[in-house]
Chains A and B, each alone.
Chain A
Amino acid sequence: MATTAVTEQHEPGAMVPAPFRVAEREQDTVDTWTLTLEPLEGPGPSIGPGQFMMVYAFGVGEVPISVSGPPGRPGPVVLTVRSVGAVTAAICASEPGRTLGLRGPFGTAWPIEAAGGDDVLIIAGGIGLAPLRPVVLHVLDQRAGYGSAAVLYGARTPGDLLYTDLHADWRRTVDVEVTVDTAGPDWPGRVGVVTKLLPGARFRPEQTTAFVCGPEIMMRFAARALLDRGLAPERILLSMERHMDCGIGLCGHCQLGPTLICRDGPVYPYSTLAPWLEVREL
């Protein structure tokens, strides 16, 4: 299944950050915040699900962040950011009213339209639920356009789960199963790896599209489990992450085999990625 290229690369201004004001800032977990950013100039970009923005904390640095808001509508940009270093810490600390610079959107999108009529598996690990949230929102919005739909989500601990206040709402429309790697006695849910949720999910392997995002090793195991369950490799979509600096295929820092993730990814079918995932030097 081909991924969807949404933006024309090298368009004027692709290297110049546009100013956005932080309109809302909500803490998701101890180290993760969701920011809603409003454009100070123009209507804001139309962003495909799975695409990313280069986010500039002025005076600190710039990082790629996948968009976690509803897809395809010009307007505010929603980003869920985990504080893991100096730049993301500065972004997460941006209070409402502060200004951040945004370039983009860049990269390929989840091919959610092409998956119409299919059963849908959305498999997320950790912060990987953020780039998949636009897919969830789209399926919720267009529920009749898909077969069965399930969100299978794994995280390190119950305290690391994202969007927990939304899960009950999602469950009214799609199956949502959650597991964590470790938990104390207060956690009433599952403990185990995310692939352990697959046997309980309802889907027709020959007519299912899987959207997978999380740490690369988790995606490898998830892809293998999906292949074992009979999914075709071209219907298993993964979102890859590498060190991205320019976002427009110039610097080469995000090279993976013959592709550049910022330009040709981050969303790839497993059929394309599989040979490269086996090469340790990549």
Chain B
Amino acid sequence: MIERVHEHITGELGTNARTDTIFVLTAIFLNLITLGINSGIVASNGSATQTIVMFTFVALIIIVNFVAEIGLIRGRQMRRKLLNGLLKMYKDQGVEGYYDPSLLSDYTLRYNLFMLAVLFTGLVAIVIPFVLR
């Protein structure tokens, strides 16, 4: 049974990693695409319609970035819980020496860096077109 639980936990960790990767890549890709579109709008003589389109894209960036940030925060918490369970299991089995608990803090740091990357590309995508205008 313990083997099944172990498989379940490692499976969950894999799914979690894939979901977080999708969140990060989607947010950064969308931010860069929107930066290009909005900068293009600004370069042409901005009419009222173009301004509305620009603000719509800004709203899209904000929503997607917030969704990605929440997803990453939740993903980090989920990973921590799963790894804690895994560590406890290893301790019960007497093999905890093979798994360094400091990996938990390394994962936290990595998630914070991902969130920072998403936040800053989002900020650039929002602010730069307005500065160019």
A and B found bound together? no
Which residues on A are within 8 Å of B, measured CB to CB? none
